[in-house]
Amino acid sequence: MTVRLIDSLATTEPLAKLFSDESLLGAMLEFEVALARAEARCGVIPKKVAEAIAASADVNHFDISAFAHATFRAGTPAIPLVKRLTEQVRKRNGEAARFVHWGATSQDVADSAMSLLLTRAAPILNSDLSKLERALAELSNRHKQSVMLGRTLLQAAPPVTFGLKAAGWLASVRRGGESLRNAFGDAAVLQFGGASGTLASLGSKGNAVAAALAKELKLKLPEAPWHTHRDRWATLICACGVLTGSLAKMARDVSLLMQNEVEEAAEPGGAGRGGSSTMPHKRNPIACSLTLAAAHRLPGLVSSYLSAMVQEHERGVGGWQAEWPIISSTIQLTGVAMVSMAEVAEGLVASPKNMRANIEKTNGVIFAERAMMLLGSKLGRDAAHKILEAATRKCISENRQLAEVLAGIPEVARHLDRSSLQELQVPEKYLGSAEDFRRALLSGSAMLKRKP
């Protein structure tokens, strides 16, 4: 297992492996090999030199612990990387050792390696995002007629449908997912500028080598080196923060619906999932907890990255060096939130029976707005509001149904007939445009559009 125990609640196995020491080191070596091949193709170095560098760039030649210590001493991973790689190349070809890292600078290696990891993180997150979107669409369709309490400020409000709630989750996740996909596309950019971002050491061949290097690494070639311009990655970090916030909103809703006093929905259970070390009866919202934990941490990381954008001139002091752990943690937290909520959506157990029972427990007071609107057209809104305010207080103090109390008020009885009062507390009769909105949210850009 590649996940460290301390990170076991903050990442997934695939993402932990992707951001492991071996993976990051491998990406840096990949850059050095691609650089040599690009320069050989452009006639900057001999082809045999590139072959010797490629043959020597093996992660197994590195002592990770020693490499990490040397990185701390040097302030950059590139110095010990180039030193060790040069030693390995020299064993094969003494002449080739002179051309290791030719024309590049430390940040070229570090940033391009991270760009490579980001290109590999994107499909991992996209896979879980697609699962989540499919599951939420199915959940919404399955419960399009499942009426439940609306809840405003955590208090009972007029009814909605669980299908509409799920569609709201889906639409928010879709918007965040689209932003994240676009940000990943923009973030997969080559960094190659040499000492001051001009590639002066490569003379007239700088642009050609950069283009060849981008092709080798399958990274986008930017207009120019971007050493201290971190907006592309900042956009990605912010997109992760927004999407994780949307996932956490869903997690908060589900965890509240799981409360014993509510019991309208529940996460999927299973062996080793959701139990308690001391209370055998518990079915805890574990996936929701992991998602909410990720959402607690991410705003600080987003803020840290934005602060680190303020970098000096052509090479930053401290800002650039702060980025690797921020990016790694951000992507992994987004991933654990995404996989957690995909699990929830795919296995969520909803109870329309309990949803309706919770509506009935209100004795109809959630339909006071409906009664007020019916009366308001006859008596005026203010007069109707006063009547319903008094009526609902009576419902609560005497534990009586709203329709029953209203039927005993002469002023109401003169304007609302028995049929109107009988229908007053039927949830399906007071859903307004809920289904239109649900379908519009589900449609996105492909299905139904909300009619003007």
Which among 276, 303, 377, 433 is annotated as catalytic?
276
Which among 315, 400, 420, 443 is annotated as catalytic?
315
CATH classification for the domain delimited by 360-443, as one of 1.10.1760.20, 3.30.70.100, 1.10.40.30, 3.40.50.720 = 1.10.40.30
Q: How far apart are the first and last CA of the chain?
A: 54
Nearest of 268, 284, 404, 288 to residue 337 by alpha carbon: 288
pLDDT of res. 278: 54
276 is catalytic: yes
Tell me the sheet residues that pair with 189. Answer: 220
Query: Domain residues of the chain, as ranges?
Result: 13-104+198-217, 106-189+226-359, 360-443
pLDDT of res. 4: 86
Query: Which amino acid is residue 165, in one-letter code?
Result: K
- Residue ranges in the chain whose pLDDT is less than 70: 1, 270-282, 445-452
pLDDT of res. 446: 38
State the CB neighbour count (10 A cutoff) for residue 390: 12
- Tell me the CATH number for domain 106-189+226-359: 1.20.200.10
Same fold, 13-104+198-217 and 106-189+226-359: no
pLDDT of res. 276: 47
What backbone torsions phi and psi does residue 229 show, to the nearest 5 degrees?
-110, 100
397 is catalytic: no
Asked if 159 and 359 count as a contact pair (C-beta separation under 8 A), the reply is: yes
pLDDT of res. 101: 97
pLDDT tens-digit readout, 371-384: 999 999 888 999 99
Strands, E, within 397-450: which ranges?
Answer: none
Class of domain 13-104+198-217: mainly alpha
pLDDT of res. 1: 52
Q: Which residues contact 162 (CB under 8 A, 6 or more apart)?
A: 143, 146, 147, 148, 264, 265, 350, 352, 355
Distance (Å, whole) CA 118 – CA 327: 9
Total-model pTM: 0.93
Q: What is the DSSP-derived secondary structure letter of residue 189?
A: B
